[in-house]
Structure 1
Amino acid sequence: MRQSRIAACMSSFLLAAACTVTGAASAQATPRTAATGYVALGDSYSSGVGTGSYLNSSAGCLRSARAYPALWAAAHAPSSFSFTACNGARTSDVLAKQLGPLGTRTGLVSITVGGSDSGFGDVMTTCVLRGNTACQSVVAEARSYMDRTLPHDLDRLYTAIRSKAAAAHVVVLGYPRLYRLKGTCVAGLPEAARSAVNDAVDNLNSVIAKRAADHGFTFADVAPAFSGHEICSGSPWLRSVNWLAPVESYHPTVLGQSEGYLPVFSGTA
């Protein structure tokens, strides 16, 4: 009889323990199960600068319904969509101003950032206006920043993203090469300057990819998608200098967003 009571007590104990473990597992799974919201962070390549059409509510951020985050959200209908990417954003801007929507219900995050930190706007202005020697010099300065300072800035931002959205799948997208070498352009930057700019983009992508991998994020390389569609190609998906709207210079066009960035993001999201 005493053994029967012991056996019954043990059975009850094991059942209670099993229920406790199951309950805990369910509690842990709940946030992930509910994490179906999408948050789009980043700079002008994510906000949609270059598409020529911007949302009235985006003010100086120049967000566009033609940008890849908005196109993806329209096609997949996530439970929520927060579009905080902003023209000119650096890693510090994303950290200070864009992470508010992240939370336990965030299941997907996309981001492009690092180009503004590295001074690509100044690089292209210098290369266009001051000639090859000045261009090569400013490109070298940008590459030095990428190698020495940007990794730390990315680490700080990526750590904050993971802290705020523990259940999220984070896709870090890179940047396309700007120029088709030996292409159709008959004016503009000399070939050596175009090559230097492309090499700097490759270096930037390499730095970003390494930091993304170290944080368990997915790096999405868009350079192959833009191959054959760079400036100086027969069908560019990137704007060259736009004197009427300078801010759009060296950014993806509507096709650059819909045929370049969107398929790459969709394949990794």
Structure 2
Amino acid sequence: MKPSFAMRLAAVLTSIVSSRVVSGRTLQQHPLITPGDQYVIGNGVSGYHRRPPSHIPLASSKGISPVTGFIALGDSYSAGIGTGVDGTEDDCRRGLGAHSVLIASDLLAGQGGRNSTTFQFLSCTGATTQEVLSSQDGSHESQIDAVNTSLSADFALLSIGGNDLGFFDVMNACVFRFYNFYSGTCETALKNSRDQISSDEFTRRLEIIIIEILDRVHWEKKEYFTITVTGYARFFNDVTDDCDEMSFGVWWNGPKLKKDLRIQMNEMVLEVNAKIRETVKTINSHFIKDKVIFIDYDRGFDGHRFCEEGVKEPDYDLNDTWFFLVGGPDNARNGTRSNHVSDVQTLPPTSALVDPSSCLEPAQASRDWGRLALCYMAMAKHRDPSLRLARGDLVAENSMWYVPTYYGKTFHPRSLGHEAIRNKIYEVWQTLE
């Protein structure tokens, strides 16, 4: 019988976790890697050869087959938006600090380049459950259809749900007010999100996605194959009173971060996690052995949320916050990845200004938070030219209308947040032994 997923991975990962070693390496250091659909790490034709660090054992040293490949699917939390790019950012805004990329880098180091590991990075900012399942307009493959079945895969990573359940609408109406007075009420946005979370539609689609992934990789021939589904983290410390008169609003005199609002938004995240956990449990009940693993990393963000005690928000210089602010820098350990300057520098040279008369439909279709934010801001400014930005240095004067990542990465994990997600995944995987 082939060794279990946990056994195969443990030989590579055990010492990383037990010794609390966090390398901080990303695939940016490996010249064969650029954000895209599929690529190989290891000893392929274009492979990057590297001797493993002494603290990471080779899988083969314990007589266990090494991990041969894995797949990352899902939304912007999986894509790692804002965590750095090598060259020009792609349309899916995949980042080099995404937790799936960190895992790929660890596998490369742990296997010492002696065995090729395929990494299919299919996650895409703006993805909904529907778009993971099928292309909305038929112009491109769905993420599941894009899985290359000729490449080996031992496990899949999946993050999905936030775009289905109205995260952006809540952020817009309750926190940022990108569309100013036309953003709708916070109460309505929260109610709509709660209604969607409590409905059965999201559960049914998540179940279909997981079954479709299993079918795509022919799980019946790979009893060791598993899908690791990650949840989300609460955004705020909702106990302190320090934030009650502070605001993240993009326009002057924006909404305050009152404790009641922070509590409601945090509850929304917990409800989403509970829904995902419940769905995973239901799916596993249909198999003799669990096929799906749920990762709840929320508690790992304690002390690293917005509005922590003693913090005056928005604090752009605080590396200890693990979520992005609008236009805020990343907090990668090497300090060289994305910041609000490189957001502009990585734009394609043909980037155009947002047209308030025609931007809304394509922005809504894309589900890209940044494109929606930019369009709403352009429309608001067009309707009311007297509007003033809350902070004059929010964006470079000539770039504010064509830098979607500048806005879209907001409330997404920064690089240290993705490290925490990666570490929680390892912690849970180890318990599977």
Shorter-chain TM-score range: 0.7 to 0.9
CA distance in 2: counterparts of 1:142 and 1:55, whole angstroms: 35
Q: Which residue of 2 aligns with 1:157?
A: 209
Q: In structure 2, do the counterparts of structure 1 residues 154 and 36 end up closer, same or farther at CA, with 3 Å as the change threshold?
A: same
Q: Which residue of 1 aligns with 2:69?
A: 37
Is it true that 1:173 corresponds to 2:230 in the alignment?
Answer: yes
Is it true that 1:134 corresponds to 2:172 in the alignment?
Answer: no
Q: In structure 2, do the counterparts of structure 1 residues 55 and 205 end up closer, same or farther at CA, with 3 Å as the change threshold?
A: farther
Unmatched 5+ stretches in structure 1:
1-24, 27-31
Among candidates 201, 205, 224, match of residue 299 of structure 2: 224
- 1:57 offset after TM fit, Å? 6.9
Q: Which residue of 2 aligns with 1:18?
A: none
Q: Which residue of 1 aligns with 2:239?
A: 182
CA distance in 1: counterparts of 2:304 and 2:161, whole angstroms: 22
Return structure 1 stretches of 4+ with deviation > 6 angstroms.
32-35
SS in 1 for 2:117: coil
5 Å-filtered alignment, 1:66-81, equals 66-77=97-108, 79-81=117-119
**Residue type at the aligned position of 2:324:** R
Is it true that 1:49 corresponds to 2:100 in the alignment?
Answer: no
**Residue type at the aligned position of 1:237:** W
Q: In structure 2, do the counterparts of structure 1 residues 34 and 252 end up closer, same or farther at CA, with 3 Å as the change threshold?
A: closer
Question: TM-score, length-normalised on structure 1?
Answer: 0.80
Is it true that 1:86 corresponds to 2:148 in the alignment?
Answer: no
Q: In structure 2, do the counterparts of structure 1 residues 67 and 229 end up closer, same or farther at CA, with 3 Å as the change threshold?
A: same
Alignment check: 8 A CA contact 2:82 2:93 kept: no
Is it true that 1:209 corresponds to 2:240 in the alignment?
Answer: no
Q: Which residue of 1 aligns with 2:143?
A: 98
CA distance in 2: counterparts of 1:137 and 1:223, whole angstroms: 26
Greater percentage in helix: 1
Q: In structure 2, do the counterparts of structure 1 residues 202 and 59 end up closer, same or farther at CA, with 3 Å as the change threshold?
A: same
Alignment check: 8 A CA contact 2:236 2:307 kept: yes
- 1:106 offset after TM fit, Å? 1.5
- 1:55 offset after TM fit, Å? 4.6
Q: Which residue of 2 aligns with 1:9?
A: none
- 1:195 offset after TM fit, Å? 0.9
- 1:35 offset after TM fit, Å? 7.2
Question: TM-score, length-normalised on structure 2?
Answer: 0.51
Across the two proteins, how many residue pairs are aligned to each other?
237
- 1:34 offset after TM fit, Å? 8.9
Among candidates 99, 118, 121, match of residue 165 of structure 2: 118
Alignment check: 8 A CA contact 2:126 2:163 kept: yes
RMSD: 2.4
CA distance in 1: counterparts of 2:238 and 2:73, whole angstroms: 31
CA distance in 2: counterparts of 1:207 and 1:251, whole angstroms: 20
- Percent identity over paired residues: 27
Unmatched 5+ stretches in structure 2:
3-7, 9-64, 109-115, 135-141, 248-256, 285-291, 312-319, 328-393, 396-405
Among candidates 225, 238, 246, match of residue 323 of structure 2: 238
Which protein has greater RCO, CA pairs closer than 8 Å, 6+ apart? Answer: 1
Q: Which residue of 2 aligns with 1:267?
A: 427
- 1:61 offset after TM fit, Å? 0.6
Q: In structure 2, do the counterparts of structure 1 residues 111 and 54 end up closer, same or farther at CA, with 3 Å as the change threshold?
A: same
- 1:209 offset after TM fit, Å? 1.0
Alignment check: 8 A CA contact 2:128 2:163 kept: yes
